[in-house]
Amino acid sequence: MTSHTLAQLPAIALRVREHILRMSTDGGCFTGASLSCADLLVYLYTQYLHITPDTLNSPDRDILLLSKGHDVPALYGVFAELGYITGDRLKNHLRVHDDIYWHPNRNIPGVEFHSGSLGHLLSVGLGMAIDMRMRGVDSNVVVILGDGELNEGSVWEACLTAHALRADNLIAVVDRNHFQANTRTEELIPLEPLAIKFEAFGWNVEKADGHDFADLDEVFKRIPNRNGMPTVVIADTQRGHGVPSIAERADRWFCNFTHDEIDALIGELHGETVATLTSETLVVR
């Protein structure tokens, strides 16, 4: 948590999106998925999670795990804005002498567990949540899941066990941007009715607008319920949010733009004219 007010968050989120775009060149990154969860991460790290750069090793800190690890540029953008790492360090993106690559690495201050392969960190987070409970620590574990990631059976396996173990300090947040790698989720492996699925697994279910800080605040202030049930927040988001040239385009998942295109996209982010993009899109999976 920081001392920022909700009114200050849009400006922080704008700078995080700039960081994401600046990482979308010279090798590129998963731009669309990063833009969709940027607001979520800004909200959680400034308003909800009891953790700061000074309390990274505190045993009673809250923990956030990025299970959809390919959106790590959003996390590192937040870390740069909130002082976990210096902004300059983001220039090391994809360089062999640092650990800032396409998925999270625990050597970066603030990263609690590495990820990359989907469907792992809900169970890892469950283990951490059980540890907190055994120690009598009143903290929470928040796990960011992608909606495409929900195709993985291990997510639902962990949902069953979390319910059985009454892990009410475990909060999953689904970045519901309605896309998976190459297509809309509902056109490949339909997830709806998603809330009912989680309810049937014995979870508290909350829905939020993942780009509306006031709405996120209202929802997160209601949880955790400490009612013996884990909680999921289905955050309705938009892949590529904030940058119209990228938003909701199936082919703008992994992006590697020219420097000129990045400048134009940052202009677009700030409300200037829509960028003209000629770079080939690259699908990596």
275 secondary structure, DSSP code: P
Q: Which is nearer to another protein, 48 or 113 (CB)?
A: 113
Q: Which is nearer to another protein, 103 or 197 (CB)?
A: 103
β-strands 179-180, 183-184 pairing:
antiparallel
Other beta carbons less than 10 A from residue 118's beta carbon: 20
Question: Which residues ranging from 93 to 112 are in contact with another protein (CB under 8 A)?
Answer: 106, 112
Does 165 interact with another protein (rule: CB under 8 A)? yes
Longest dimension (CA), the chain: 55
Select the span of 45-53, 159-167, 183-191, 245-253 touching another protein (CB under 8 A): 159-167
Q: Which is nearer to another protein, 18 or 62 (CB)?
A: 62
Among 7, 164, 278, 285, binds another protein (CB under 8 A): 164
What is the DSSP annotation of 181-221? TTEEHHHHS---SHHHHHHHTT-EEEEEETT-HHHHHHHHH
Does 270 interact with another protein (rule: CB under 8 A)? no
Does 43 interact with another protein (rule: CB under 8 A)? no
Closest of 206, 204, 193 to residue 233, by C-alpha = 206
Between the CA of residue 174 and those of 51, 62, 72, 225, 239, what are the distances in Å?
Answer: 21, 18, 15, 18, 13
- Taking the complex as a whole, the smallest distance from the CB of residue 112 to another protein amounts, in Å, to 7
Among 5, 55, 117, 182, binds another protein (CB under 8 A): 117
Q: Which is nearer to another protein, 130 or 266 (CB)?
A: 130
Here the tokens at position 35 are 């833009």
Among 49, 121, 246, 269, binds another protein (CB under 8 A): 121
Closest of 274, 172, 241 to residue 33, by C-alpha = 241
Reported as type and span, the H/E element at residue 82 is helix 72-82
Does 113 interact with another protein (rule: CB under 8 A)? yes
Does 171 interact with another protein (rule: CB under 8 A)? no
Q: How many residues bind another protein (CB under 8 A)?
A: 28
- Taking the complex as a whole, the smallest distance from the CB of residue 70 to another protein amounts, in Å, to 15
Does 126 interact with another protein (rule: CB under 8 A)? yes
Crossing angle (nearest 10°) for helices 72-82 and 9-22: 130
R_g of the chain, CA atoms, integer Å = 18
Please report, as ranges, the residues that interact with another protein according to CB under 8 A: 106, 112-114, 116-117, 119-132, 134, 154, 157-158, 160-161, 164-165
